[in-house]
Amino acid sequence: MISWRTGWRRRRLRRFDPAFLRADAVIFHIPTTPVGVQLAKRPGQTWIAWSAESEANYPALADPEFMRHFDLEVSHRQGADVVIAYCQPDDWLPLAPLPPAPPVYEPAPAVFIASSRFDLSGRTSYVRKLMRHMAVDSYGRVLNNRHLAEDQGRSTKLELLRRYRFTLAFENSIAPDYVTEKFFDPLLVGSVPVYLGAPNVADFAPGRDCYIDVSDYAGPAKLAEHLVGLAADPERYARHLEWRTRPLAQDFVGMVQEQRLPAIERLCRILRARA
């Protein structure tokens, strides 16, 4: 039996919760688990830390004293016992040829979509400065200057990204392995991600030269100069799309194939093996 622990408030914690005591394994959703929680661990019980968020957002994930309470980890981190990746297997598998990039683009070279003001990466400030040097269409609530006629969710977003040469794929925080759909979605539809986020993003790339790393440039002015130059030179820009005509990187394929089995099922396999 597996018990979930999520959404706790301290006053609701019960040391002798019958379900908790009977469970063979207990999953703690770290973003909603108080760091100071005090619970007795039944002998033979397995505790699992579960989170898809970065340690920059939830520092408890990087706190050895806190994490020592858990026997297994389910997270986006590559060292976790069960890895949750943000790429969607149904998008990339089976490994059919990717659709061609669109022949017509919007006048602005880049698009930015962000509605959450949660920002530990400095992305809002960076984009604001970038806008002083080049045209950026922003559709989210942050730095908004364009509006959608209708929004049907992810399908609308993907069709929107297809119309731009570059997508500003800026994470809300910067931490190793924290590479979200902001990176994968533009790759899927033929827009080049301009990435601000995980320092090891190269480990998640499906092909060579498929993205532009913000950290390679001295600042927004230099990055804008490079992007505007690429947008004006179809031959140079096309080099960032050549990966779409080649086999996907084997490490990327392995990561995507692993995600075909839901994380909870992969966890249960580990638990059965430990029994």
Domains and CATH numbers, the chain: 2-84+259-274 (no CATH), 89-248 (3.40.50.11660)
Which amino acid is present at 45? Q
Name the phi and psi angles at 51, rounded to 5: -165, 140
pLDDT band at 1 (very low <50, low <70, confident <90, very high): low
Return the pLDDT at 11: 36
Q: Which of 14-23, 57-66, 74-83, 191-200 has the lowest mean pLDDT?
A: 14-23
Considering only CA atoms, which of 227, 225, 221 is closest in space to residue 193? 227
Q: Say whether pTM exceeds 0.95.
A: no
Question: How far does Cα 73 stand from its chain's mean position?
Answer: 18
Return the pLDDT at 10: 39
- Is residue 39's pLDDT more than 90? no
Q: Check: CB of residue 135 under 8 Å from CB of residue 109.
A: yes
Torsion of CA 49, 54, 57, 59, to 10 degrees: 50
**Cis peptide bond upstream of 220, omega within 30:** no
- Is residue 89's pLDDT more than 80? yes
- pLDDT per residue over 100-153, tens digit each? 767 789 999 999 999 988 999 999 999 999 999 999 999 999 999 999 888 899
